[in-house]
Structure 1
Amino acid sequence: MRRILMRYRAFLAALLAFGVLFLVNRELGMEALDITTFSLKEMLMVIPPIFVLLGLLDMWVPRETMVRYMGEESGFKGVLLAFLIGSAAAGPLYGAFPVAAVFMKKGVKFSNILIFIGAWSTTKIPLLIFEMTSLGLQFALTRLLVNIPGIILIAMLLSSFLSKKELDTIYASAEQLNMG
């Protein structure tokens, strides 16, 4: 029982906070509940399709193919592919992390995974189109041209800061996840 309580302590703390909020300010508590319900519904609309696609990726794309195109020796091709996949992705950023875990299981180079996450968060095609129509072509292209080298630089720096042992630990953790 104690183990279950420890595992779900963050959820239980949030539940307790909701209870206290309802007691202190019922209107604010209802608003918080509405926001939480909306967020849960949104997640339930996004997460299942991502996991279906991850299952297909995990089953249909051999590890050797992923290593060849995005692994340690992939070079510019891996960086470009990481950017393209991340930029073409749909959905909120939390959808990128299960994909990154499958990439790790498939032997994708760590810096390419970081580039993929960076591209997912900042260079999505729908975001670029929105910026072009709302903020102008010059702004959208300037932001994109600043972000691309920034993402690559950050990915390379973060990768260089990690030791081989730390990377092996991260990849081993991803291998233990049961995705798809």
Structure 2
Amino acid sequence: MDPAAPSPRRRRRGPIDWPTAILIVLVVTAALYVLWRDGSARFLEVIGEDSSLFLWMMPNVLAGCLIASLVTVLLPRDTVVRWVGKEAGFKGILISAGVGIIVPGGPYTIYPIAAAFLGMGADAAAVITLITSWTTIGLSRSLVWELPFLGFDFVLWRWVGALPLGVLAGLIVRAIERHWRMKAKP
């Protein structure tokens, strides 16, 4: 990909898109069901618990978004495209798998980073590889939780079983994309 060429722009979404609208309908339906089934006291209790969870999560989500925005400033777009863009091929999937293994943090961190990479021109297959590797392996999780509680043998065998999953997920996405492109051609 030519670094001087303008990068493809992602379609701007409004404040409420279809996934958000569906989520709102599900939340309102569930809330009304709890109100009908358990009464107003339980309804208010659930609202209070959910509000405290929301207040606890919000700083984490904001920190994750801040990290993702810093990634977009620190990593030049052309570098991201070169390493994990469509043109990077299998190498981009391997790089994404490695990054997914070593990135620390929880979902508050990884999903904003993944969205930032997509916005910077990373290939969807590479981003799916990143998330899958982070989910299935996660070095920090292995060192902090699994190794002390479950032992080295368990962690080793889990890694042997899980290591190819991120790469496999990326290759499956590439195959599906290739199939769709072939079908779209007249």
TM-score, normalised to structure 1's length? 0.71
Q: Which residue of 2 is the match for residue 14 of structure 1?
A: 27
Tell me the amino acid that sits aligned with residue 119 of structure 2. K
Return 5+ residue gaps in structure 1 as ranges.
167-180
Structure 2 counterpart of 1:98, from 105, 112, 119: 112
Aligned pairs for 1:16-165 (under 5 A) are 16-26=29-39, 29=43, 32-33=46-47, 35-74=49-88, 77-87=91-101, 88-92=103-107, 95-129=109-143, 130-163=145-178
Deviation at 1:44, TM superposition (A): 0.6
CA gap 1:36/1:73 in 2 versus in 1, 3 angstroms: same
3-state DSSP class of the match of 2:86? coil
Deviation at 1:71, TM superposition (A): 2.5
Deviation at 1:52, TM superposition (A): 1.0
Q: Is the 8 A contact 1:46 1:91 kept in 2?
A: no
Runs of 4 or more, structure 1, over 4 Å off, are 6-9
Q: Is the 8 A contact 1:72 1:108 kept in 2?
A: yes
Tell me the amino acid that sits aligned with residue 11 of structure 1. I
Q: Is the 8 A contact 2:67 2:113 kept in 1?
A: no
TM-score, normalised to structure 2's length? 0.69
Deviation at 1:73, TM superposition (A): 4.1
Q: Is the 8 A contact 2:68 2:109 kept in 1?
A: no
Tell me the amino acid that sits aligned with residue 138 of structure 1. D
3-state DSSP class of the match of 1:107? coil
RMSD over aligned CA atoms reads 2.9
Q: Is the 8 A contact 2:114 2:127 kept in 1?
A: yes
Structure-1 separation of matches of 2:180 and 2:22: 30
CA displacement, residues 147-176 of structure 1 (integer Å, 9 cap, x when unaligned): 11122112201221114877xxxxxxxxxx
Aligned pairs for 1:161-176 (under 5 A) are 161-163=176-178
CA displacement, residues 1-56 of structure 1 (integer Å, 9 cap, x when unaligned): xxx8x864642552353244134324654564355234323431321111111222
Deviation at 1:82, TM superposition (A): 1.6
